Structure 1
Amino acid sequence: MTQTGNRLEDLRKMVAEVLEVDTEELTDTGHFVDDYEADSLRAIEILARIEKYFKVEIPQHELPELTNLKEVHEALLRHDRQG
């Protein structure tokens, strides 16, 4: 698996844990609020875990755009200095 693929799976595990769903239930495009009943505190927790685990900084103003796993992964790739 590629580094990007590994990163996506790490993200999937992390986000699934915060949303309290199985990793198999968490799709790339499933909406965190509509499909998984996430609230703003869970969104902030997801962002904090990503920043700590991947050692990146994603600006808080991007938080409203991070509505699904695909968007979170794309933000991680944009802000990750390691590529």
Structure 2
Amino acid sequence: MADDKRLAEDAEDLRELIADILELPVAEVTDDAHFIDELEVDSLSAMHIVINLEKRYGIKVTDEEFKAVDSFADVRELVAAKRGAGS
């Protein structure tokens, strides 16, 4: 149960980070909001997201990995996988 709480807290921290970078209300960064069509992520904001993910979570995200991201849920899964792999 503690792991579930930690995962929820991590997801909200990640959601707040992305909302801050995109200068959006946190409520707009829903699990299924499409990054390009709905959140208007462009190449510059994508770069800022990657840099901040790497700094905050101590991971390395390649351009190819981030190009495969379509939604917040995808980012959350990518961060979780990277942190689990110790990358």
Query: Structure 1: which 4+ aligned runs deviate by more than 6 Å?
Result: none
Percent of aligned positions that are identical: 30
Match of 1:40 in 2: 43
AA at the equivalent of 1:43:
A
Structure 1 residues 68-83: aligned runs within 5 Å: 68-81=71-84
Q: How many residues align?
A: 83
Structure 1 residues 3-22: aligned runs within 5 Å: 3-22=6-25
**Residues 44-76 of structure 1, C-alpha deviations (whole Å, 9 max, x = no match):** 111110110011112221111122110000000
Structure 1 residue 19: Cα displacement:
1.2
Q: Structure 2: where are the runs of 5+ without partners?
A: none
How does the TM-score come out when normalised to structure 2? 0.85
CA RMSD of aligned residues (A): 1.7
AA at the equivalent of 1:8:
A
Q: Structure 1: where are the runs of 5+ without partners?
A: none
AA at the equivalent of 2:7:
T
How does the TM-score come out when normalised to structure 1? 0.89
